[in-house]
Structure 1
């Protein structure tokens, strides 16, 4: 524990950290937290009762960490984040040779879907694991699953085995993003969190930008299995960096606890039922939108029924059974938390719809290649990073967020309206470059400020589980954006094609055009015109849906209250739940839970849109 005089003398900020001494003193470099909030919860170790890190009081803001500790730690975290970003793009680039080698191209899309489902289902699990096992062990566990999944992909004998291995890698991907954010939250004060969030977003951009060309080289020379296998030693290096530099020692009380005692505070039943509900619902959505099965099909209907039963069980367990619930429902009475959670669902839905359909429009309406499409969408991806960093600078300078949050939402709405006006015949070429940029700036800025709005309104002891729920909401919004947006587009495309193509063999032609977007350029001239016009009209419907969703995000954010960032965030409707041992210090745990992941979500969704265009192109090549 830090000496009582350290916070006053300032020595805590420069003293050498060891496994037995905290990196952060108990006093904040910013203005002290509210005394009442600070008194609710006693000082805990890293992650609180079950943590593994700095001795930071839940009622106080984290003190700024010395650079000689912060920078090596960030290097270790960013090494894992960049590998996670690189992995996603590699898989999309290698999809065509993978499908060809197994002769099952119809299952290719499940390589990405299985990963996304696992990531969504296990994000809250790692938020709790950080309390139970500690920061560094949880991060190493995430890297273990990530490496195990990639090793399984490299050795997979069948397509089904490869899909299962991608699900395992998704568990690790959820942990890498979540734990990176949590550890950043331990080390960076709230006012500077957004700035580091933007830096993490740039790192993610570098990984996604380098993945496509690297995947192309690997596919042409070394084979797709090497693309997965080569990540394993890199992940081992990242794990070594985490082991060396991520040193957030636990308090003596935490170190004295047995593993059994820690597990007693782990809501296994709640996490299990929530995971079943998430996996079942997302798989049902994938069957409905991707394989065009009706809601009454046994696969879809059965999975939705299972999801409802699991969700009902989860609510009952959290409300009446769990001693330390993963999701304390009392938090929903907190205005900023409830509205911010809804915001992240809506903005993720909107961004995923836009980012998946921008490449689709460019590739089908303008008949651009995947490389040209990537060039057109790149400015939007980089604008997200700029928006996030700008938000960090603004919040650090002024300590306020509400006005900027509303203005950034307006900027995104303007961009969505501009995209709704896209026309292949009348829109100038430069407009396709410029119009998505405000969307990136607004999304990056809004995601950062909404994160700060949530963090500033909760008690420290509630932040871990609160951020876990918000993280889940964000991922569900992304999945719904992909599934619902795709289903709406396909329905509109079917109607448009049926109006334009008639006569003998019309249905076969329509089905071919709907499922082979990459082959439009090879169609006869008269069919190509019909197909291009139909795709343009169908994608415009998706753009309109996204614009409406973004308008709802603005309305949701209007009632959010401005909270001071230099004092305790004690706006929770009830004090932190008391339970022996003391409740997890979610302050340090997931105060930054969204720091990396929320910063990169919009950026990741833009990247996913480019990936989707590549997948369509490569699957078309496989079919030919």
Structure 2
């Protein structure tokens, strides 16, 4: 099963590779304001098509869908590498997102298809390690290529790896499907099984919602008419999707009944909350150290490594523990508690003079998240297994496995975007309020306020005692921002208490 991890590594590395080269790419096209769309377009495309990808893998098999995903990702990589304009590069990112929608999802499904449920957490932990290594390596690789032979090679260079992955997967990976599946050799018959209307409604609803969350508090105020209109549109389309799936769809792309099942919605919510919490913290870390200690961009970026280290160790530990004991509820609770304690410590101790030893205080949060990424997936799959046994009287994989798993992976970017959007909105609002109050007694307060609230690089140029006041205002605002991850992880802890634990298939 390790043969299909090449794509997982490439897609994970790509996410941080783009973050490291966004400014370089956008600056070359003199469109710095559009640079964020290099990540946003990819994310929206990937999330919108993940539910359809899961259903297609049920109809055509995991191997075929995975190979097509690799091919699309490679095509998008080449387009990004040769794109003559920024919109062309963004289009390449959209195509990459289409391919990525199957790359991690299908690998997870292959694991559940081939491995007894008791061992799924163990194999998933290896997948999490590959993802973590990819995310850790992507930034340095992207920066190195951009500084040496040019940023275009950071995209085009992915294509050969994906070509190798296509050959390996096509010849060595079994073309598994969820059971029971009625084989339909007729191409027309298979096409009839695809829920095109439901897929379009769900994709549009996801794009509008995630697009609004991406823009809220960053590019636009949270109550901007565009944001409110997008959210309202998402709600309307979502309602239309539910009506279509319940009343008209022959084979729903994502059965809405899954969202009212406790064994499904609880793991979804925990994953979204914990990922939103960690990325809310990670979003602030480089900025915190650049402002409080005047560190370089590169050095401040390394302060995120303890969280990544914690993710890796937690994923391995959680997977091994669950495979040995078959217990996942207490493991999930422990992971959530670790996250809550870690983020509470940041609020109490990160006050502006944070050394490397104190930086390690984010390790428990990363460790807890790593544990929960393994344990919540097991909670989801075991719940589906239990439901199948109750309804059909037999053990085995549920026919809803692909749909439920695709929903699980949609929760990841949803939590990520929501966590960053809310935490950053709170921090920005607080820093503006604190700066207005703190600078009120200084000459030229309005000009200083405008300078340091729009360009943090100006803070280091300020004279004492103004710089001390500004730094203190930012540090206090970060502590308010950390409150959102703390609240999210606390809610996840309460939800983890409601997980139902079932015996795992051996």
| CA distance in structure 1 between the partners assigned to 2:46 and 2:349 by the alignment | 34
Deviation at 1:252, TM superposition (A): 13
Higher mean alpha-carbon deviation, 265-274 vs 417-426, is at: 417-426
Contact 1:89 1:212 (C-alpha < 8 Å) held by counterparts: yes
Q: Is 2:431 the partner of 1:493?
A: yes
Residue equivalent to 1:278: 206
State which structure, 1 or 2, has the greater radius of gyration over its C-alpha atoms.
Answer: 1
Structure 1 segments of 4 or more deviating over 6 A?
249-253
1:390-409 CA-to-partner distances (Å, cap 9, x unmatched) read 11111111111112221221
**Alignment gaps of 5+ in structure 2:** 389-397
Alignment match of 1:293 (pick from 221, 226, 250): 221
Residue equivalent to 1:224: 151
Q: Is 2:89 the partner of 1:162?
A: yes
Deviation at 1:386, TM superposition (A): 1.2
Aligned residues: 492
Alignment match of 1:115 (pick from 12, 18, 42): 42
| CA distance in structure 2 between the partners assigned to 1:508 and 1:137 by the alignment | 60
Partner of 1:278, secondary structure, is helix
Partner of 1:400, secondary structure, is coil
Alignment match of 1:331 (pick from 258, 267, 274): 258
Alignment match of 1:268 (pick from 172, 187, 196): 196
Q: Is 2:491 the partner of 1:552?
A: yes
Deviation at 1:553, TM superposition (A): 0.6
Partner of 2:423, secondary structure, is helix
Residue equivalent to 1:407: 334
**Alignment gaps of 5+ in structure 1:** 1-72, 568-624
Q: Is 2:63 the partner of 1:130?
A: no
Contact 2:132 2:311 (C-alpha < 8 Å) held by counterparts: no
Deviation at 1:147, TM superposition (A): 1.4
Larger helix share, 1 or 2: 2
Contact 1:124 1:471 (C-alpha < 8 Å) held by counterparts: no
Q: Which has the higher contact order (CA 8 A, sep 6+)?
A: 1
Deviation at 1:99, TM superposition (A): 2.0
1:436-481 CA-to-partner distances (Å, cap 9, x unmatched) read 1110111111221121112111131222222222322332111111
1:567-592 CA-to-partner distances (Å, cap 9, x unmatched) read 7xxxxxxxxxxxxxxxxxxxxxxxxx
Residue equivalent to 1:513: 452
Q: Is 2:364 the partner of 1:438?
A: yes
Alignment match of 1:142 (pick from 64, 69, 73): 69
* TM-score (norm. length: structure 2): 0.91
Partner of 2:101, secondary structure, is helix
| CA distance in structure 2 between the partners assigned to 1:156 and 1:523 by the alignment | 41
| CA distance in structure 2 between the partners assigned to 1:168 and 1:200 by the alignment | 23
Residue equivalent to 1:539: 478
Deviation at 1:294, TM superposition (A): 4.7
* TM-score (norm. length: structure 1): 0.75
Contact 2:333 2:493 (C-alpha < 8 Å) held by counterparts: yes
Q: CA RMSD in A?
A: 2.3
Q: Is 2:132 the partner of 1:198?
A: no
Partner of 2:402, secondary structure, is helix
1:270-324 CA-to-partner distances (Å, cap 9, x unmatched) read 1111110111122122222221335243x32332232122112111111211122
Deviation at 1:428, TM superposition (A): 5.2
| Closer, same or farther: CA 277–511 of 1 in aligned 2, 3 Å | farther
| Closer, same or farther: CA 538–343 of 1 in aligned 2, 3 Å | same
Residue equivalent to 1:90: 17
